[in-house]
Amino acid sequence: MVSSEVSPIAKVGGLADAVAALAKTLSRLGHKITLVMPRYRAEESSGAMLARRLSPLRLPVSRAGGAPLEATLYDGRLGSAVELVLIDVPGLFDRPAATEVGGAEQAPEAGHVAARGVYGAQGAGDPEEVFRFGVFARAAAELALRRGAGGKPFDVVHAHDWPAALVPYFLRGKGVRRMLTVHNGAFQGVAPRETALELGIDAADFHPGLGEFYGKLNCLKLGALSADVVTTVSPTYARELATAAGGHGLDGVFAGFGERLAGITNGIDYAVWSPATDPYLTARYEAEEPSNKGRCKATLCNELELAVDPDRPLLVALGRVDAQKGSDLLARALPRLTQAGCQVVVAGTGDPELVQALTDAVRGEPGARYLGGVSEPMSHRLLAAADAVLVPSRHEPCGLVQQYGQRYGAPPIAHAVGGLCDTIVDCDAGLATGTGFLFEEPSTTALVGAVERALSAMRTPRWAALRRRTMRLDLSWERPARRYAKLYAEPAAT
């Protein structure tokens, strides 16, 4: 598996958690997994035990007619027994994390590499980002070829998202099965034609039927068209990618895949996310004995100087602050939510304007708090304290927060889009069925309406049964991993 993020070594978002948990589950099912990722500067303090390979990896890539680049490989192993290979290319992956940049950014979450240390400020549209991750993809492909030449070939190479998307292209015709998983099709890795040539992409492949996209290189497009099979992180998102509204300009490409595009809903790692064993909680609880959830709520409310009232619902929003995540809808809705009798806690960082909007929204609201970025332990404690989680995303390929909320007995209130549709069944009026509350339009009015529905449900005797039902859901990686394994077993294209 090839990924720009792997938890706990380097994490910016849900990609890191998904890749690590899938690899661990596949390993437990008997598959031998090697994870390949860049070696970032912040990994030096991550605690990973690494051994440097004496033999460097020479790459058929150079800049401005200079000498070919060379990568150093570091071997390690995760606690899950999954093998780990870190690729170090001087000058490309040793940028400082946010905490090392003059305090201009907020500190990263505890134990995570800040986005500044993994991705640049311009993101997937920056030619420098495309070059550095293109070099990483080239190195990962060369590693696979070296392994094959040594008599121990990989059966499958599974690339994740645009930073690894060129791996299937560089392995075309090499007899190894190639898979690409699209975790978020909004990020594609677009750069000028010159970047494609620097990376060693054949000029003959730079055309609209393969790697060219309105005169530029599109890594996600080229990788998808070079893969044997493309997957994404929920069935609904697979269908959305093939539409003009959800394909981010590549809807024609995804629509043409047919059965080559499979939607497999992400799971969550029960070893990390389980209120019955979570070491970060004040008190642990489970579906059949949830009373300690009240203690978790009281402790958090005390800490945040909120009213300690078991009958006053606590709503939590956790994740990146971004228009995609509906953070602007949440900021506008906050006064109405507190007026409805809720207390609301929002945690996460991101878009500066939306961060300011949330900061302004909670000012003067005694029942609302905006915490900014929080540590991993605090994110667990927030979920344990919550009566419900808010997920107002405009688009959401899969989403993990709603599943974490379900696992911790905090039914989600979410926009009916993408993977949120696949992981949440809208509750009926009598709460006899359902695992959360969905709203159809990405608007403040619709969000507030869904919250009011949830508040009404909380006042009924059936709320406890709903909470127990959500906590009993099978959200593990077991079934998704078996579906991936089935796809791995199919023959590679020529």
Beta strands of 416-470 (E only): which ranges? 437-439
Tokens 């809208």, residue located? 426
Beta bridge partners of 436: 426
Cα 7 to Cα 164: distance, rounded to the nearest angstrom: 16
Per-residue pLDDT of 6-30, as tens digits, reads: 988 888 888 999 999 999 999 999 9
The tokens describing 10, both together, are 């380097």
Question: CATH classification of 14-267+478-488, choosing from 1.10.10.10, 3.90.79.10, 3.40.1390.10, 3.40.50.2000?
Answer: 3.40.50.2000
Residues of the chain with CATH 3.40.50.2000: 14-267+478-488, 292-471
Per-residue pLDDT of 41-90, as tens digits, reads: 766 555 567 898 878 899 988 887 778 899 999 999 988 889 999 999 98
Report percent pLDDT > 70 for the chain: 93
Cα 122 to Cα 187: distance, rounded to the nearest angstrom: 11
The three-class DSSP label of residue 15 is helix
Contact 462, 431 (CB under 8 A): yes
CATH number of 292-471: 3.40.50.2000
The three-class DSSP label of residue 88 is strand
User: What average pLDDT does the segment 233-256 reach?
Assistant: 96
Q: What contacts 230, CB < 8 A, 6 or more positions away?
A: 179, 180, 181, 182, 224, 254, 257, 260, 261, 262
User: What average pLDDT does the segment 437-460 reach?
Assistant: 97
What is the per-residue pLDDT for 44?
Answer: 59
Contact 223, 167 (CB under 8 A): yes
Burial class (CB in 10 A: 0-12, 13-18, 19+), 377: middle
User: What average pLDDT does the segment 364-390 reach?
Assistant: 96
Q: At residue 306, what is the residue type?
A: L
Per-residue pLDDT of 312-359, as tens digits, reads: 999 999 999 999 999 999 999 999 999 999 999 999 999 999 999 999
Per-residue pLDDT of 35-45, as tens digits, reads: 999 999 766 55
Cα 315 to Cα 391: distance, rounded to the nearest angstrom: 11
DSSP state for residue 138 in the 8-state scheme: H
Cα 459 to Cα 96: distance, rounded to the nearest angstrom: 50
What is the per-residue pLDDT for 75?
Answer: 94
Q: At residue 346, what is the residue type?
A: V
Residue 132 has pLDDT above 50, yes or no: yes
